Amino acid sequence: MADKLLIYGSYGYTGALISKTAIDTGMSPVLGGRRAEPLEAQATELGLEHRTFSLEHPTIIEETVEEFDAVLNCAGPFSSTAAPLLDACIRTGTDYLDITGEIDVLESTATRHDDAVEAGVTLLPAVGFDVVPTDCLAVFLAEQIDDPTHLRLALDGFETFSPGTGKSMVEGLSRPGAVREDGEMRTVPPAWKTREFTFDDVQKEAVTVPWGDISTAFHTTNIPNIETYATVPEYAIAAMKRSTRVSRILKARPFQAVLKSLIDTFVSGPTAAEREQNVTRIVGEVENEAGEQASAYIQTPDTYDLTAETAVESARRVLEDEVDVGYQTPGEAFGADYTLEFLGVERREIDVL
């Protein structure tokens, strides 16, 4: 029997892009999700098999994923979906991938390394954007100087989002910021630091945000101090700094339920034309105790288009046993140049001082 891939959350915005990309590359994944109507419609349109199941009953999850060689989880927020699927995969010997960028989920997945090794299972989370291009950039920068102690990553151009991303953002409203300090995760206020980065010869102000690289880049490079930044409008910086005053309201379930409902109603994700026009820019910097520094710049196509390509290619390599068992980050699994294999990704402007 050919290697079988289950794409869970396949009818969501990003899941649909990934499913279509998988077909375009010659794969025949099985589609999965909890809602029968959209799943059946998608499977019929694409001519693929499908499995309808929720993530509320462990036995049913195990019985379903047991027939597959790998599961690619595209159903966000991953704070709700990752654990039940990951548990079932370890119990059934099924490789697990997802496209999360949520720090708590990534840290929790990393703790299952020994369980996965014992079960002969690969755990490869974060195979989308973010984390693939930033993690690969972290690997590249860590190789430019001896014993780097500090890593900073800054993103510009993250201007579109899908319903799933929007819901993850809603869940993050009540959470503080995060950095890696002396190897430990440290909680910091929202927009804790502000500084300028140069993106393609243009200086822009960016603030600290809790990107998934606070988790993954540490596991990939062992650099003990990591900060991640994003460019945001000035009014958004002020709003982020004020959010701690209303965190109790923001974390209230009724308030979050209303926001998520509004997202379902009004957010559909960027169109193909909008994605085609969008690019994302990433600046990375490392330094060590001796004062040596290195920086590099990456430009990528739209985040969702790149996610579809990296997720499918990552799943293909896992299915072909090209990735070690246990917990892996994209940078560990594929190396610094992985993102350069995808059309439209360019790495340049390298400085070593």
Question: In the prediction, which pLDDT does 275 show?
Answer: 84
Average the pLDDT over each of 143-147, 228-232, 344-348 and give the range with the smallest value.
228-232
As a whole number, mean pLDDT of residues 179-194 equals: 94
pLDDT of residue 348: 87
In the predicted structure, residue 122 carries a pLDDT above the cut 80: yes
Between 91 and 256, the higher pLDDT residue:
91
pLDDT at 256 over 60: no
CB 174 within 8 A of CB 190: no
More confident residue, 232 or 151: 151
pLDDT above 80: residue 201: yes
Phi (first) and psi of residue 317, to 5 degrees: -70, -35
Least confident of 18-22, 74-78, 271-275, 318-322: 271-275
Distance CA 114, CA 118 (A): 6
| Global pTM exceeds 0.95 | no
8 A C-beta contact, residue 8 and residue 60: no
* Average pLDDT, integer, range 3-9: 94
Cβ atoms 212, 99 nearer than 8 A:
no
Ordered domains of the chain (ranges, CATH): 5-128+305-335 (3.40.50.720), 132-302+339-352 (3.30.360.10)
Question: Residue 171's pLDDT is what?
Answer: 46
* pLDDT of 350 strictly over 80: no
Confidence of residue 250 (pLDDT cuts 50, 70, 90): very low
pLDDT of residue 165: 52
pLDDT cut 90: percent of the chain above it: 75
Q: What is the pLDDT of residue 269?
A: 67
Q: pLDDT tens, 158-183?
A: 655 555 554 444 444 456 799 999 99
235 has pLDDT over 50: no
Q: How far is CA 30 from each of CA 35, 91, 319, rounded to the nearest angstrom?
A: 15, 20, 14
Note the pLDDT of residue 303: 93
**pLDDT above 50 for 246:** no
pLDDT tens profile 39-84:
999 999 999 999 999 999 999 999 999 999 999 999 998 999 999 9
Average the pLDDT over each of 202-206, 238-242, 315-319 and give the range with the smallest value. 238-242
Average pLDDT score over residue span 245-255: 50
pLDDT for 325 beyond 70: yes
pLDDT of residue 190: 83
Q: What is the DSSP letter of 150?
A: E
pLDDT for res 267? 52
At 52 the pLDDT is: 98
Whether the Cβ atoms of residue 153 and residue 283 lie closer than 8 Å to each other: yes
Q: What is the pLDDT of residue 169?
A: 47
Q: What is the pLDDT of residue 251?
A: 52
Among 212, 223, 220, 233, which residue's Cα sits nearest to residue 307? 212
Summary mean pLDDT of the chain: 88
Structure tokens at 353: 């001082």
pLDDT, greater one: 238 or 328: 328
Distance CA 179, CA 222 (A): 14
